[in-house]
A and B are shown apart, each in its own frame.
Chain A
Amino acid sequence: MRLFNVLFTLALIVTTAKSTLAQSAADYRQQGIQYRAQEQFPSAIDAFQKAVKLDEKNLSGRIGLGWTLHLANRREEAIDVLQNTIPYNPFNIETFNALGIAYLVNGDLINAVAAHTWSTMLDRNNEIPFFNLSLAYERLAMYDWAIESGKRAAELEPNNPHPWIALAIAYQGQGDQVSAKQIFQQAINVDSRYGDRDSLNYLSRAAFSPEQIKTAQQLLATIQ
C-alpha cells in the first residue's frame, strides 16, 4: 500500500511537471509575440529564447526567435537560429520565408535566392518567396529572373503594391521603360500613396534596398 502511494505520488509529479513545462513554452511564445507586437524586441527575444530552451523541437518558437532577432537587426544571430531550425523540418515553408528575408536584408543574395527558391518548390502558390526572389535577382542584375519572379508574385498578390513595384524596377533594369512605367502605374492604382516620392522610403520595410528605392523614385519621376 505504501509502495502504491509512493509510485502514485511520483507519477503525479512527473505528469504535472511535464504539463507545466509544455505550458511554460507556449506561454513564453505568447509573451514573445506580444512583446514583439509592441516592438519591445529585447523582451520578446528573451521570451522566445526561454520558449526554445523549454521546447527545442517546437518550430513556432524557433522561427519566432529567428524572426524577432531579424526585426531587432541582429541578423547573424537570426540566420544562425533559422539555419539550425531546418533539420527539425526541412519542408516547413515559414522557416525558409524568414531565413530568405534575413539573408536578403543582410545582403547575402546567393543564400537568399537558395532559401526562397526552396520555398517556391515547397509551394508554387506562396507569394512571399516570389516577391523576395524578384528583389534578390534585381540586385544581382538577373533581370529576366527578377521579372519572372515578380510576375508570379503580383499574380499571387495583385492587391499588394510591393510586388508591382518590384516588377517595375526589374523591367527598368532590363531597359524596358515602357513596361516599367505601366507596371509602376499599376502599383499606384493599388495604393495611391506610392504616387508620393517620400512614401517610397517605406519600401525599406519590405526588404527593398536603398538603391532599389532610389530606382523606384526615379521611375516615379518619369511618370509624373
Chain B
Amino acid sequence: MNRRNSLFVLGLTLLLSSISIPPAQPKPIPLATTEARIRQRQDQLRLISPAAYDLTRYPIADQNERHWRQLLWATAVIEPQDAYVRDAIAQILTLTPQRLSPAQSRTVEMALQIATQLYSSNPTPNLQQQFIQTIAQSPNPRWVAMSLSALSKGGATTTQKQQWINQIARRFPKWSENVSLYTTIKELTTVAQTPPIRDLLRWTIVPNQQQLYVFCQPDRAQLCTAFLRDRTGRFVRNNGRLWSMPLLTRSLHNLSWNFSRGYTPQGIYRIEGTIPQPDTEYFRAYGFYPLVQLFAPLEPGVKEFIPGRRGTLTGKLDGYKALLPPSWREYFPIQASYWAGLFGRSEFRIHGSGEDPNFFTNNQRYPQSEGWNPAIGCLSALELYDSTGRVQAAHMPDILRRLGSRPTGYLIVVESANTPDAIAAQINAL
C-alpha cells in the first residue's frame, strides 16, 4: 500500500471512529424529556381496559393480530394486576392444542411469553391450569417446553416437575431431538457444579483476541459484572484498579435463555463491530450510543466467528466445546449460546436504553438493579436522562472506548455464585 493510500485509510479510520462513538449529548433529546416519557407510559396505560381484553370483541383471528400484539406488549410493560387481564390471557392459552394459522400462532406464542412473566410474579391457578393443559395436549413442542419452564419458575415441586417430564417423554418420544424440550428438561434434571472460574479466566479462546467476561448471578435480576481481557491476555485496568462494568441480562418476560425473548444465554459469543446510533426510531429501545454486535456460534450473519475462517462456527457441538477450557467442556450451562444459536435466537447486542427505568412496571420489583432496564436477550447498560432530556449517566461510551472503534473478540457470559469482588480477587491472583 503506498503512502497516500495509507494516509487515506488512516484519515477514514479516524473519521469513522469519531462518528461511531458520539460524545455525551449536550443537547436534550426530545424523546427523553419527562413530558415525553409521561406521555409514552400513558399511551400504554390507555390500552389497558376490560373492553380491549374482550375475546368476543377481539377473537384470536388473523385480522386481530395487530390489536393483540400491541395489547400484549402493553401488558408486559404495565403488568396490570386486574383479574380480567389474566383471565383473558388464560383464555388465549386454551388455544394451544388447536391447529392455528401462522398469525394466530404468533399471538398465542406472545400470550405464552406474557403469561410466563405474570405467572412468575404471581402464580395464579387460571394460568397454571393452562400451562398444564398445554403440556398435556399441545402438539407444539416449544409451547410445551415454555409451559414446563413457566410452571417450574412458579414454584412447582420436584414430584410435579418429574410427572410433567414423564408425560412429555410419552407424548414426544423424540424429545431429546427437539432443542426446546431437550434444553428445558436437561436443565431441570441436571445439577451441574460450576467448574473452576480460574480455568476460564486463564483460557484463550483464540489467540490475540480480546475477551469480555460477563459474570452473572443465577438470579438474573441481579446486575452482572463485565471484565475485559485485552489481546495480550492482560485484564484491563483503570487507574491501577481492575476495570469492570455492570450490565443487566434480565428478560422482561422472565423467560429462560432457551426461548425467544428470554434472558441472555450463557456461553461464548463473537464480538463483531457495532451498529451505529443515534437513530431516533430506535432511541427508546437501544439508547443513544452504538450497539455492540454479538453473534452466537451458529447464528447466521457473522463474518468470521473464528478469525480467518468465513461464516459461523463449524464442527457442531464438539467444535464449540473445543473453544472452552477442558474442565468446562461437559458443563451443560455454558453450552447455552450454542443451543440458542442452533434454534434461531439471534441479534444479541450490548446496548443502552432510551426508556425511562420507570417505564417498565416490573423494574420496581428489582431495586438491586435500579436504573437499568431489562431486555429480551441483550445485555443492557445504564443510560439515564434528566427531566430536560439531557444525558445524566451512560456506560456505553466507556464500553465502546475499551473495546475499540471496530471491536472484535469474544464475549463469555457465565453464571457464578461468586460475588464480583471474589471474581476480581481471582483475576488479581492470576
Interface residues of A in 109-154 (CB under 8 A from B): 109-111, 113-115, 117-118, 120-122, 137, 140, 142, 145
Contact, CB under 8 Å: A118 / B206: yes
> Which residues in window 268-318 of B have CB below 8 A to A?
306-309
Residue pair A140, B308 in contact (C-beta under 8 Å): no
Q: Is the CB of B202 within 8 A of A110?
A: yes
Q: Smallest CB–CB gap between A146 and chain B, Å?
A: 10
A90 x B207 contact (CB < 8 A): yes
Task: List residues of chain B with CB within 8 A of the CB of A121.
Answer: 206, 306, 309
Give, as a whole number of angstroms, the nearest-CB distance from B409 to chain A. 12
B208 lies within 8 A of A90 (CB): yes
Q: How far is the CB of B238 from chain A (nearest CB, A)?
A: 23
Closest chain B CB from A217 CB (angstroms):
26
Q: Is the CB of A111 within 8 A of B208?
A: no
Q: Given A91-B308, A110-B199, A110-B202, decide whether A86 and B322 contact each other with a Cβ distance below 8 A.
A: no
Instruction: Report if A215 contacts B (CB, 8 A).
Output: no
Which residues from chain A contact B322 at a C-beta distance below 8 Å? 117, 120
Q: How far is the CA of A70 from the CA of B363 in the complex (A)?
A: 57
Chain B residues in 8 Å Cβ range of A90:
206-208, 307
The reply to whether the CB of A83 lies closer than 8 angstroms to some CB of chain B is: yes
CB contacts (< 8 Å) of A142 on chain B: these are 326, 329
Asked whether A111 lies within 8 Å of B326 as measured between CB atoms, the reply is no
Q: Using C-beta atoms within 8 Å of the partner chain, give the interface range for chain A.
A: 20 to 34
Assess whether A87 is in contact with B325, with CB atoms less than 8 Å apart: no
A-B CB contacts (within 8 Å), total count: 46
The reply to whether the CB of A48 lies closer than 8 angstroms to some CB of chain B is no
B203 near A: Cβ within 8 Å?
yes
Question: CB-nearest residue of chain B relative to A110?
Answer: B325
What is the bound-complex CA distance between A115 and B231, given in angstroms? 15
- Say yes or no for B371: interface residue by CB 8 A criterion: no
> CB-CB contacts of A70-114 with B at 8 A, as 1s and 0s?
000000000000010011001100001000000000000111011
* Pairwise interchain contact A113-B325, C-beta atoms closer than 8 A: yes
- With contact pairs A87-B232, A110-B199, A111-B202 given, residues A118 and B207 touching in the complex (Cβ less than 8 Å): yes
Q: Is the CB of B203 within 8 A of A110?
A: yes
Contact B207 A96 (CB under 8 A): yes
A121 to B232, CA, bound (A): 20
Q: Which B196-210 residues have C-beta < 8 A from chain A? A: 199, 202-204, 206-208
Cβ A137 vs Cβ B326 within 8 A? yes
Q: How far is it, in angstroms, between the C-alpha of A222 and the C-alpha of B308 when the chains are bound? A: 47
- B204 and A111 contacting across the interface, CB-CB below 8 Å: yes
User: In the complex, what distance in Å separates the CA atom of A145 from the CA atom of B326?
Assistant: 9
Distance from A94 Cβ to chain B, minimum over Cβ atoms (Å): 13
Known: A83-B233, A91-B308, A110-B202. A140 touches B326 (CB 8 A): yes
* A91 neighbours in B (Cβ, 8 Å): 307-308
Distance to closest chain A CB from B214 (angstroms): 20
Q: List 14 A-B contacts (CB under 8 A).
A: A83-B233, A87-B208, A90-B207, A90-B208, A109-B326, A110-B326, A114-B204, A114-B325, A115-B204, A115-B207, A117-B323, A118-B204, A118-B206, A121-B309
Task: Point out residues on A near B: beta carbons under 8 Å.
Answer: 83, 86-87, 90-91, 96, 109-111, 113-115, 117-118, 120-122, 137, 140, 142, 145
What residues of chain B have their CB less than 8 Å away from a CB belonging to chain A?
199, 202-204, 206-208, 231-233, 306-309, 322-323, 325-327, 329
- With A91-B308, A110-B327 known, 16 other A-B pairs at CB within 8 A are A86-B207, A87-B231, A90-B208, A110-B202, A111-B204, A114-B204, A114-B325, A115-B207, A118-B204, A120-B322, A121-B309, A140-B327, A142-B326, A142-B329, A145-B326, A145-B329
